[in-house]
Amino acid sequence: MRSRFVQGRGVGIGLPAMLVTRRELWEQLVYDVTGGLAIAACVGSLLLIVAHLRHFSNPRQQKLIVRLLLMVPIYAIDSFFSLRWREVTCGSRVAPFSR
């Protein structure tokens, strides 16, 4: 089971992954919940960013606001990736730069 997982099979989000990899249920649940939250956060803040960019009446302020809003997708995506592919980011099994 471990070796299959390390090979990186499975999509990560959604039920189809359960058919491909044999993970424990709670692990899959963690991936699904985290991925869902991350996607929702990204979509929400991207909509707000587009709204700001459409009504760009005060560039000096709104430029900075958009940059601050970009933080949410960056953090959400990074956290989800490092949770989902944790053996890579943790460096416990696969050290970075090993290839």
Partner 1 sequence: MWFPGCPVFALTIAQVAPYLNVARDAYEGYALWCFFALLLAYVEGESGDCGLLLARKPPVRHPLPLCFLPPVQAGPVFVLWTKRVVLQFAIIKPLVAVLSLVLQPLGLLGEQNFSPTRAYLYFTIITNVSVFFALWFLVLFYLAARDELKRFSPVGKFLAIKSILFFTFWQQMLISVLNHYEVLTGIGAWTQREFSVGLQDFAICVEMFLLSIVHIFVFEFQSYVQPVSAVLDTRFVAWQMFRPVVRNFAATVSQRDVLSQAREVLRRDASMTARKQQDALLSGSEDDGDGKQT
With 0-12 / 13-18 / 19 or more C-beta atoms within 10 angstroms meaning exposed / middle / buried, residue 38 is buried
> Is residue 66 a contact point for partner 1 (CB under 8 A)?
yes
How many residues sit in the footprint of partner 1 (CB under 8 A)?
71
Q: Cα–Cα distance between 48 and 63 in angstroms, integer?
A: 13
24-53: contacts with partner 1 (CB under 8 A): 24, 26-27, 30, 34, 37-38, 40-42, 44-45, 48, 50-53
Q: Supply the minimum distance, in Å, between the C-beta of residue 89 and partner 1.
A: 5
Apex CA 18: angle with CA 32 and CA 37, to 5°? 5
Which of residues 3, 15, 18, 86 is near partner 1 by CB under 8 A? 86
